[in-house]
Amino acid sequence: MKRLTYIIALFLVATVTFSQNDTIPNQAIVYKFDIKREIGSTSWIHTQYAFEEANDIGADMILLHLNTYGGQVVFADSIRTKILNSKIPVHVFIDNNAASAGALISIACDRIFMRPGANIGAATVVNQSGEKMPDKYQSYMRSTIRATAEAHGKDTIVTGTDTTYVWRRDPHIAEAMVDESIYIAGIIDTGKILTFTTLEAIKHGFCDGTAESINDVIEKLGYREFQIITYKPTFYSGLKGFLTNPIFHGILILVIIGGLYFELQSPGVGFPLLASAIAAVLYFAPLYIDGLAANWEIILFIIGVVLIALEIFVIPGFGIAGVSGIILVFTGLTLSLVDNVVFDFSNVPAKELFMSLIIVSAGTFLAFIVGIPLSQRLFTTGPLAKVALQTTQDMDLGYISVDEEPQNHVGSVGIAQTTLRPSGKIELDNEVYDAVAEIGMIDKGERVKVIKYASGQLYVVRDV
């Protein structure tokens, strides 16, 4: 009786211990990660989280459940690099489509399984409207997909006394998925982009077998006892993916620059500046949390905005402060997108730095192209016309807002008390007045002549 009680007690302890663990002892841990949407920033964010979690739980393999028509090359390249560098074996189950960016990701995986009737290939780079991009983009994609196929190495085939080495995935065939000029006898003719069906992919080494389901794939990989743990995207990861999309970044930059411009056009309105501030927060916050945007990069941006404001509202003309402010704003926005350490770019891929420059430049350019005519429309005949002062108070009608005494000095000759570039101070009849150089810069101590008075301001030229 005591022995039976002891056995029952051991069983209960083992049951409780087992229930506290996430994995089942002596079973393979298969970490399943779905990519069933257009490849973009969200896919890349999910990939990073999924691979990190797979490493944390000690997964025996990562299995991608893939069905996509493609997406953005820059993120597909990041995902394929993550796969190639993974210490955990990564396999893929193509559940219908692996086109374009999806083909690149699939070729990076250790083993490829496809559902009967599925397709892989057609990796030509196209724009948003589906038109083929120039050859420099195709050249990069050709090199990338070729290098991805080469990364899997060659198989050794021994026939009698002869030994030959055959690519596991032929780089030339992979390149034909991008380049329509490639001809491979019995596979593809020139003028066509290569796409394989399941059986064709198996025949030419780009598929390791057919499968009907995830469980079928795992069993064909040799696992009989296994536990599947599926990656579950969080709301935050999806939001982060949306906020870090290059297109959205460009829109945010447009709002940041455009909001500042609108506020400068009509100071005191308020909400253009508020929109700019909110856009800046949405731009920097996810980058800061992700470790890309450092404190000093955000400070550079803030200092740049302050310098631009000082140049416009405090310092006459447009000089060092304004130019420095523009450079600092541009630098802060750009460097926040790349994983640099201060100004050390040794570990930053050139394509990432180039992409960040393109995003910031495009957003800034659009802000001025769209902002200038839009602000004129909004503050004259648009919905903001009522909050911006449009009426004028002409002097001819008796409106005088400044002292008119200085206009009596038109034609007088004085001395420049400070350097005028173009604004500064002059002395007339032992009195000091603000003045603006009409032409060029006038040095301190030079003789000047007052040529006109307008809007409460004296205008002078060098007296020769």
Least confident of 151-160, 207-216, 336-345: 336-345
CA distance 52 to 63: 14
CB 72 within 8 A of CB 44: no
Task: Output the CA torsion sign for 30, 36, 40, 41.
Answer: negative
Q: Is 258 exposed, middle or buried (0-12, 13-18, 19+ CB in 10 A)?
A: buried
Helix (H, G, I), strand (E, B) or coil at 120: strand
pLDDT in tens, 65-108: 999 999 888 889 999 999 999 999 999 999 999 999 999 999 99
The residue among 247, 246, 256, 280 whose CA lies nearest residue 368 is: 256
Contacts of 114 (CB under 8 A, 6+ apart): 93, 94, 98, 120, 198, 201, 202, 207, 210, 211
* Region 288-297 average pLDDT: 73
Could you tell me what percent of the chain has a pLDDT over 70?
Answer: 77
Q: Quick one: residue 118, left, alpha or beta (phi over 0 = left, psi -120 to 50 = alpha)? A: beta
Helix (H, G, I), strand (E, B) or coil at 407: helix
User: Quick check: 419 pLDDT over 70?
Assistant: yes
pLDDT in tens, 293-311: 778 888 888 888 888 777 6
CA distance 224 to 334: 50
* Region 219-232 average pLDDT: 93
pLDDT in tens, 263-275: 666 555 567 778 8
List phi, psi (to 5°) of 308.
-65, -45
Whether omega before 171 lies within 30 degrees of 0, making that bond cis, reads no
Local confidence band at 22 (pLDDT 50, 70, 90 cut-offs) = very low
pLDDT in tens, 368-417: 676 556 655 555 555 555 555 555 555 555 555 555 677 778 888 899 99
Least confident of 37-51, 115-129, 323-337: 323-337
